[in-house]
Amino acid sequence: MNPAQSPPPVDVITSLDDLRGDLARRHPATTPTSAAVDPATVAADLSALEREGYVVWENLLTLDECEQLRDALTPLLGPTGRNTFEGQRTRRAYNLLEKTRVCDALVEHPRVLALLDRLFLPNYLLSQLQAIDILPGEQAQMLHHDDGFYPIPRPRPPLSAATMWAIDAFTDTNGGTVVLPGSHRWGSERSPAETDARTAVRMPTGSCAFYLGTLWHGGGANRSTGARLGVTVQYCEPWLRPQEAYTLATGRDTVRTVSENIRRMLGYSIHPPFMGAVDGMHPKRLLDRSM
């Protein structure tokens, strides 16, 4: 610097709010996609969520799309489960974005993002993406709520939300997800009793159930003769640790290939002022490097 020049001005920071625009300024949160969905539709979905804790959308995918998903996912399914929670007659496939592109459209379906944009802070994260194939003879899964591993007392707003996409039709005999309507409002002291009403989500092939992380639910028993294939996508607030460590599990080539929405959900985003930074910089700078 020429000694005659004055040094660049220094930002004076007196609160974390002063830092909000700093690292996030160069690569701001993705523009909310709610605009793609009729606001009346989003409002109806939100009021169903408020009332029941879940909402079901029928036939969002075509039968052809479901067949493409089945063909791509079936070879990725692992052996049956390691414990009764994951299911001893259930096959799962994890970390799907690294293995196939067929789930991208599910992860960033406009109907889903329209709700996430309203439930969570900008730059919410992907927390889990799994295929779950419940085989005949499987027992009902232990009831749980998906944000239960975050040690923050209830009742409270959800810290995560999930979708369950029906690649096979879900019925009350083939393992259709069992939900306890209204249980998203329960306090920490309450867990499901025999007398609490439960409903097996019935939905045709290509449908999607969206439920809050506070809703008690579990995979149903499969008393039918066929398997029940579903794809579940979970999302969480941008200040929480996702279940699957996508910044470790996803290669840079995959990150460069996916859409901007998915890239930020994988962790290539900042929760202002610094959460997610790499070397003091926005994590998207990593993508400019050759490795």
Ligand X SMILES: O=C(O)CCC(=O)C(=O)O
- Identify which of residues 211 and 268 has a Cβ nearer to ligand X in the complex: 211
Nearer to ligand X, 96 or 255 (CB): 96
Among candidate residues 275, 201, 203, 262, the one with its CA nearest the CA of residue 235: 262
**Only segment of 1-9, 102-110, 183-191, 217-225 that touches ligand X (CB under 6 A):** 217-225
Can residue 53 be called a binding residue for ligand X (CB under 6 A)? no
The least CB distance from residue 180 to ligand X, in Å, is 12
Residue 60 near ligand X by CB under 6 A: no
Q: Classify 59 in phi/psi space as left (phi over 0), alpha (psi -120 to 50) or beta.
A: left
- CA–CA distance, 106 with 227 (Å, rounded to integer): 21
What track of x and - describes contact with ligand X for positions 22 through 51 (by CB under 6 A)?
Answer: ------------------------------
Instruction: Say if residue 197 is exposed, middle or buried (CB neighbours under 10 Å; 0-12, 13-18, 19+).
Output: exposed
Is 242 near ligand X (CB under 6 A)?
no
Q: Token digits for 231?
A: 């794809």
Determine, following the binding rule CB under 6 A, whether residue 207 of this chain makes contact with ligand X: no
Do the Cβ atoms of 207 and 158 come closer than 8 Å?
no
Rounded Cα gap, residues 74 and 126, in angstroms: 22
Choices 103-111, 191-199, 212-220, 273-281; region in contact with ligand X by CB under 6 A = 212-220
Among 158, 206, 213, 219, binds ligand X (CB under 6 A): 219
Q: How far apart (Å, rounded) are the C-alpha atoms in residues 181 and 165? A: 19
Calpha distance 10→38 (Å, rounded): 45
Q: Would you count residue 213 as binding ligand X (CB under 6 A)?
A: no
Contact 84, 139 (CB under 8 A): yes
Identify which of residues 102 and 215 has a Cβ nearer to ligand X in the complex.
Answer: 215
Q: How far is CA 169 from the centre of its chain?
A: 21
Pairing status of strand 199-200 against strand 228-236: unpaired
**230 makes contact with ligand X (CB under 6 A):** yes
* Binder of ligand X out of 69, 115, 132, 179 (CB under 6 A): 132
- Decide: is 164 part of the binding site for ligand X (CB under 6 A): yes
Count of residues engaged in binding ligand X, rule: CB under 6 A: 8
Residues that bind ligand X (CB under 6 A): 132, 141, 164, 177, 217-219, 230
